[in-house]
Amino acid sequence: MEQIGSHGVLISGVNGVGKSLALVALQRELLREKIGTWRVDGMSLLMGAESPAFPTAYEYLTHELEQKFPELGSLSDAETSASLCVGVVLIDDLDVLFQSADGLVADGSDAQLPQLGSSLLRLIDELSARNAHFAIVGTTTSADANVPLVAKRTGRFGKVLDLVVPTEQSRREILRRHLIGLPLRGDEEMPVADNAGSLASRLATLTGGYVAKDLVRIFGWAELLHAQQQVKPSQLRELNVASPGAPVDGKLVFAGYAAVQKQLFDFVSWKFHPTEAMNRLGISNASGILLSGPSGCGKTLLVQTLAAKAQVNFVSVKSSELLSKYFGDSEKAVRQLFARARAAAPCLLFFDEFDSIAHKRSFGEGDGGSSGGGVYARVLSTFLNEMDGVGSQRVTASSVSHAKGFAASESGGILVVAATNRKDALDAALIRPGRIDKTVELGFPTQEDIQDIFAHYTRKMPLAADVDIQALAERPRGSRTFTGADIAAICKEAAFRALREDIEAKTVCFRHFEAAWDQRAEATPTYTTPATANPESIAKPNP
């Protein structure tokens, strides 16, 4: 009680992370120490305050406290001292007390709050004035969004404890404890306890973004690894995301650019799985990668494929979708996106069309432009703060419980990858060590890349004997330059030409590819991007 220092504590965390379980554990410890407790949920308080037996919500709260803690005496008597009373009230879903009738969180002075929320704050103030050793611990899904500022001042709910999504180390321990209680098969070489630890370690690497509730749900299935694919992490449900270990099937294969793929995979692997040699030499991992190249070369598909191979969560967002016409919403969207990505760590956070929010601050005019201090400047500033880790430096329950382990709020759990076809338009503050460390050029495919792309898109297509992929890749294009998307379009058009020629066609012939090639060459514009081919030296650190 002495360590709390204020009469209110908020436990904040997403649904399913274990806030209610934390209250149960706290109550058990307090009862063991002979400290009186009262555990109740917010909805029960709301219904109790509606009772006709109590004219006001304040009278209802004081009556309940006097019944649960007789040492308080009569709170209606101003002369009564409560200094001898020691107790803790545990309120689950505290934030419902501050919601108005329309479900919104009221803010402002005490008088503007709902009656029950205002009465609770008044009660806390009176207990403080009477020197009572009394604390109120409440849970909320978001201390920032769901609890008004007036309730979080010193002396009320002045302390906020973030209960973060379990790290890999925490998930491993949760899974191991549940697995030990299951009838696992063991043998002389591997006892059941060791078998549980091995399986827990394997599952922990596949369950990034899972909260405790998600992990428990897995054990309702017969086959654990199958269940892991069926249970979607809570932290990924609101995002365009792929979970780790997604099957690399025909929809998630990147053809060509072998050197680029290897370079990028090394960056991703070193970020999330640093080698012993890297740790020994003190080599820091990249925090951001810029993928630059013309449209249609497959930047998005490449990053998604690499994330699946590296067994990490993949969160993808089109940068333009972060912009909002309402003041402050764009910056809030960026902060929430990074917060969600941290919760889903290890996570690869991908920004497509990056130049739409990160262009040079010399561009634009007026309030909307970057130089005018408008939305673009604010979004860019927020993004830079998040890249620097300013938004993640909060004290979390994980950092308290696992000081020696990996904390979920650390920036090491996220790798930011940004894609653009206008690298020259990006702000210089982004392209530097500590932010966007690496630049990877994904230029136009070489002849070898074109062959690989053709082979990929025709692998399920019945080809006639005269189809020669190498000869097709060597066909002259004049001043035209094809991208991977163009090659995919040629394969699709060739198949349609075969059908239009004969609806009963069994194969696609070389002449169909030739006609589709020529048609695409006429429709494809002449690109002026400096990178006209896939260079040998792809990735380089930014100066």
Q: What is the domain partition of the chain in residue ranges?
A: 8-106+113-162, 168-237, 258-360+378-392+411-441, 447-523
Helix (H, G, I), strand (E, B) or coil at 36: strand
Burial code (b: 16+ CB inside 10 Å, e: under 16) for 270-301 equals ebbeeeeeeeeeeeebbbbbbbbbbebbbbbb
Question: What is the distance between the alpha carbons of residues 447 and 474, in angstroms, rounded to a whole number?
Answer: 7
Cβ proximity of 436 and 383 under 8 Å:
no
* Strand intervals (E) in 238-364: 240-242, 288-292, 313-318, 347-352
Question: What angle do helix axes 447-457 and 484-501 make, rounded to 10 degrees?
Answer: 50
The confidence score (pLDDT) of residue 409 equals 35
The confidence score (pLDDT) of residue 411 equals 42
- DSSP structure class, residue 390: G
pLDDT tens sequence for the chain (543 residues): 445 444 788 998 888 888 999 999 999 998 898 888 889 998 988 888 888 888 888 888 888 888 888 776 666 665 555 556 678 899 999 888 888 755 566 555 566 678 888 888 888 888 877 767 788 899 998 877 788 888 888 888 888 888 888 888 888 888 888 777 666 554 444 444 567 778 888 888 777 778 888 887 776 654 555 555 555 555 555 444 454 444 444 356 788 888 888 888 888 888 877 778 777 777 777 778 888 888 888 888 888 888 778 777 888 888 888 887 778 788 888 888 888 788 777 788 888 888 888 877 754 444 444 444 577 788 888 888 888 764 343 434 443 333 333 333 334 578 889 888 888 888 888 888 878 888 888 888 888 888 888 888 888 888 888 888 888 888 776 556 788 888 888 999 999 999 998 888 888 999 998 888 888 887 755 554 444 445 443 444 444
The confidence score (pLDDT) of residue 188 equals 46
Question: What is the distance between the alpha carbons of residues 347 and 102, in angstroms, rounded to a whole number?
Answer: 36
The confidence score (pLDDT) of residue 24 equals 92
**Could you say which of 1.10.150.20, 3.40.140.10, 3.40.50.720, 3.40.50.300 is the CATH number of the domain covering 8-106+113-162?**
3.40.50.300
The confidence score (pLDDT) of residue 362 equals 58
The confidence score (pLDDT) of residue 438 equals 85
Question: What is the distance between the alpha carbons of residues 214 and 224, in angstroms, rounded to a whole number?
Answer: 12
Give tens-digit pLDDT for 270-322.
887 777 877 777 777 777 888 888 888 888 888 888 877 877 788 888 888 88
The confidence score (pLDDT) of residue 368 equals 47
Residue 329's CB is within 10 A of a number of other CB atoms, namely: 12
The CA-CA-CA angle for residues 328, 113, 96, to 5°, reads 80
The confidence score (pLDDT) of residue 228 equals 55
Strands 36-41 and 86-92: parallel
Question: What is the distance between the alpha carbons of residues 60 and 372, in angstroms, rounded to a whole number?
Answer: 54
Residue 352 half-sphere exposure toward CB, CA atoms < 13 A: 17
Residue 351's CB is within 10 A of a number of other CB atoms, namely: 27
Let me know if 266 is exposed, middle or buried by CB neighbors in 10 A (0-12, 13-18, 19+).
exposed
Same fold, 8-106+113-162 and 258-360+378-392+411-441: yes
CATH (residue range 447-523):
1.10.8.60
Which architecture does CATH list for 258-360+378-392+411-441? 3-Layer(aba) Sandwich (3.40)
Question: What is the distance between the alpha carbons of residues 164 and 392, in angstroms, rounded to a whole number?
Answer: 11
Cβ proximity of 377 and 386 under 8 Å:
no
Question: What is the distance between the alpha carbons of residues 430 and 361, in angstroms, rounded to a whole number?
Answer: 11
Q: Identify which of 271, 237, 246, 436 has the alpha carbon closest to the alpha carbon of residue 347.
A: 271
- Integer angstrom CA distances of residue 348 from 1, 123, 407: 41, 46, 17
* Phi, psi angle pair for 313, to nearest 5°: -70, 150
Q: Identify which of 342, 284, 259, 345 has the alpha carbon closest to the alpha carbon of residue 310.
A: 345
The confidence score (pLDDT) of residue 222 equals 43
Residue written as token pair 């902060």: 335
Question: What is the distance between the alpha carbons of residues 33 and 36, in angstroms, rounded to a whole number?
Answer: 9
The confidence score (pLDDT) of residue 315 equals 83
